[in-house]
Structure 1
């Protein structure tokens, strides 16, 4: 009988977890993905009938794609904003991180943060919300639900070189 060392067992678990997780992000860490997803669940109308969920609207993938190609300064600002969002509940009397709060507590916290005197906190919430909404409502799956017919004359979508490069990275075809 073969026995596994603790190190080998943990390596095997990590390997299996990597196989299970088919979604690979290039900009977001796992913890940032959890925080942004929790934030998106609060600010987007995904619970409304007829509205697509986060996966259908491809929110996390598009955010990852957009933020992967921006300058390092913008990337660092967004990393910082996500970190502030994750830890801010601790300053508002919650003994949990944002991503671990229930949906109701996250909704109440977002409303409380909107009324705060801190310009920095309001900027964090506002900018995260702006980017999440931009990606969500920019996806075709939301257009019918909001009665948007789409671009005039419905031209075919033309992808930039950056988008093509990102899709090749996702598929594992690095150039």
Structure 2
């Protein structure tokens, strides 16, 4: 009979649990997930009473889904915008990337650059904010909190072929 040490068993168990629980993203890299999540935490009202958090509103999954199907040029622009945001603090005297700043520092940093003369910086922050807002407030979990009754006549949600394809990819189905 083969014997396995307790340490090896625990390592194997953690490894398998990590594989099973890992969320698949098809557009974002791991570093981009971290940057966009940290950005979303400070621009969205997720700590307000009654407002859903990022997971409940499926912010990162929906961003990944939407950006996975857009044209390559738009994908590259968004990758570039996330990279600019990540390294922008270095140009303003900070010695850490955006995703490594404390929450209060991220808020202060975004406030400090809100009046910048740079069109590029304003475009990066504004466009990232716009997209994050769209997926957050477009989710049903936010509607009651903002007193939005939903679409007129409340039609059932109809998923496009692209969204169905993305769901099959996430489940690992061959399409």
Fold in common (TM above 0.5): yes
Partner Cα distance (2:100, 2:106) in 1 = 9
Partner Cα distance (1:37, 1:52) in 2 = 14
Structure 2 equivalent of residue 96 of structure 1: 96
Partner Cα distance (1:51, 1:101) in 2 = 24
- Structure 1: runs of 5 or more not aligned: 1-11
Q: Which string of whole-angstrom CA distances, capped at 9 and with x for unpartnered residues, describes residues 81-135 of structure 1?
A: 0000000011111110100100100001111121111000000000000000000
Q: Is the counterpart of residue 24 in structure 1 residue 31 in structure 2?
A: no
**Residues 116-127 of structure 1: pairs in structure 2 closer than 5 A:** 116-127=116-127
The TM-score, its normalising length taken from structure 2, stands at 0.90
Q: Which string of whole-angstrom CA distances, capped at 9 and with x for unpartnered residues, describes residues 61-87 of structure 1?
A: 000000000000000000000000000
Using the TM superposition, give the Cα deviation of residue 174 of structure 1 relative to its aligned residue in structure 2, in angstroms: 2.5
**Residues 1-175 of structure 1: pairs in structure 2 closer than 5 A:** 18-19=18-19, 21-175=21-175
Q: Which string of whole-angstrom CA distances, capped at 9 and with x for unpartnered residues, describes residues 37-69 of structure 1?
A: 000001100010000000000000000000000
Contact 1:113 1:125 in 2 (8 A): no
Partner Cα distance (2:48, 2:121) in 1 = 27
Partner Cα distance (1:138, 1:113) in 2 = 27
The TM-score, its normalising length taken from structure 1, stands at 0.90
CA-based RMSD: 1.8
- Structure 2: runs of 5 or more not aligned: 1-11
Count of aligned residue pairs for this structure pair:
165
